[in-house]
């Protein structure tokens, strides 16, 4: 796409992108980290990687047979 554009068009596109980035509201890192920690702690009880998956809901466990590589 950039090959079909002149230098002026490319610079205008970059300027437009920078204007968008400047107008993006910023959040303090400490606030973002606190939100992330609270979200993770809230979701821990339902997280299958921490809690595990019961055998009846696990699609990879059971008497479905094996895999044979030939």
Domain ranges of the chain: 1-28
pLDDT tens digit sequence for 11-64: 999 999 999 999 999 889 999 999 999 999 999 998 888 888 888 888 777 666
Of residues 34 and 3, which shows the higher confidence score? 34
What is the C-alpha separation between 36 and 50, in angstroms, rounded? 17
The pLDDT score that the predictor gives to residue 9 is 94
Cα separations (Å) of 23 from 16, 20, 26, 35, 38? Answer: 11, 5, 9, 22, 27
Q: Is the pLDDT of residue 65 over 90?
A: no
């Amino acid at each position: 796409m950039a090959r079909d554009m002149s230098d002026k068009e490319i610079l205008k596109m970059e300027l437009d992108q920078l204007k968008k980035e400047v107008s993006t509201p910023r959040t303090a890192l400490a606030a973002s980290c606190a939100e992330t920690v609270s979200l993770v702690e809230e979701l821990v009880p339902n997280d299958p990687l921490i809690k595990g998956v019961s055998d009846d809901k696990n699609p990879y466990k059971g008497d479905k047979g094996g895999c044979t590589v030939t």
